[in-house]
Structure 1
Amino acid sequence: MAVGPDSSGSRSGELVTVGRITAVYGVRGWVKVHSYTEPMDNILQFERWWLQEANGWEPLQIDGGKRHGKGLIIHIKGVDDRDLAARFCQRDIAIERSAMPALTEGEYYWHQLEGLRVISHFGGGEHDFGTVVRMMETGANDVMVVRGGGDKRERLIPYLPGEFISDIDLDAGVITVDWDPAF
């Protein structure tokens, strides 16, 4: 059963997606998890998990989790069968926003950047590039995927504070970048 603060069962304003159950592992109810946390096993530090379902979010209790190869596996409490575990696959995992550790000044969680307006003062004028629709990890550095703005283009802007990112103002909802509008 979905739970939440409103009648729709939605907790989306209170929850932050931190991973996804991808596939079953073995025959005893273990599942593979793709973690969005850095490092990946930080997801195991959160005590209370929520699992996405059709009408919102439901609590998810795990009683085991560990690194396995290049990924993570977890065991869902009370699920000791491969077929039962399969019902949990391809669903997002979230935690309550309030459970996230505080960051130092100048550090941001991806969910804080998504939805912010992106502007550039490149060449002297102000250019509205639209909003950050998502963040993407590329290996060398993170990248902001920005859509909309005056020219309705999608831009991939490297998230490199001090180089391409001039300022982030969460209160105003604006990221100022040093980026050529032609790119």
Structure 2
Amino acid sequence: MNVQAAAADKRVVLGKVGRVHGIKGWLKLNSYTSPPANILSYAELHTELDKAPRLLHIDDSREQQKGLIVHFEGFNDPETASSLTGCEIWVPSTDMPALAAGSFYWHELQGLQVTNLQGQLFGSVQRLIETGANDVLVVAPTAESCDARERLIPFLPERVIVEVSLQERRITVDWDADYLS
């Protein structure tokens, strides 16, 4: 399968539906987007309800001090709306806005192999951490890794990150295998 076809099949989870809010079918929405209100910009959201795909449309929303509340079209009472509680909300990766060259969504980096300039394989990106100063790759060892250490590698393009190749599913870093050992 080519990269474009794989991207078309990939789901990007944007949030999770919380509990019912009020008597008119409103729900709390835990957004994973940054900023959280970005989830509201998608015309169509996807979920699974009773193991069947379901398309959702937000017909109203409000930002509150403790987060977002939304109303989905067709879910007009607490009983109906409660069926969505706990459901993940996602979009196909092809629906994500295009980024500038050299920028990446976190979901694109997860699973990529990480090697250093000496060709040593450190493992694969399990997740990223937002620290405020810069994002950090959490690299977990694989069976082929040079050792069994988990590494935290700062995502600093041109200083630490030498190359990101989505096609080759690889990130090359300027990072010594013995750093912080």
TM more than 0.5 = yes
SS where residue 42 of structure 1 aligns? Answer: helix
Moved over 3 A (4+): 52-57
Match of 2:91 among 83, 95, 99: 95
1:56 Cα deviation (Å)?
A: 6.0
Match of 2:154 among 153, 158, 169: 158
- Length-normalised TM-score, structure 1: 0.80
Superposed CA deviations along residues 64-108 of structure 1, whole A, max 9, x for unmatched, are 123211421111212233343222122211112222111111111
Match of 1:105 among 96, 101, 118: 101
Aligned counterpart, 1:143: 136
Superposed CA deviations along residues 37-64 of structure 1, whole A, max 9, x for unmatched, are 2222121111111014464632122211
With over 3 angstroms needed to count, the CA separation of the structure-2 counterparts of 1:105 and 1:61, relative to structure 1, is same
Structure 1 unaligned regions, length at least 5? 1-11
Structure 2 unaligned regions, length at least 5? 1-7
Contact 2:160/2:173 (CA < 8 Å) preserved in 1?
yes
1:137 Cα deviation (Å)?
A: 2.7
- Length-normalised TM-score, structure 2: 0.81
Aligned counterpart, 2:37: 41
With over 3 angstroms needed to count, the CA separation of the structure-2 counterparts of 1:112 and 1:23, relative to structure 1, is same
SS where residue 85 of structure 1 aligns? Answer: helix
Contact 2:49/2:83 (CA < 8 Å) preserved in 1?
no
Note the aligned Cα RMSD (angstroms): 2.3
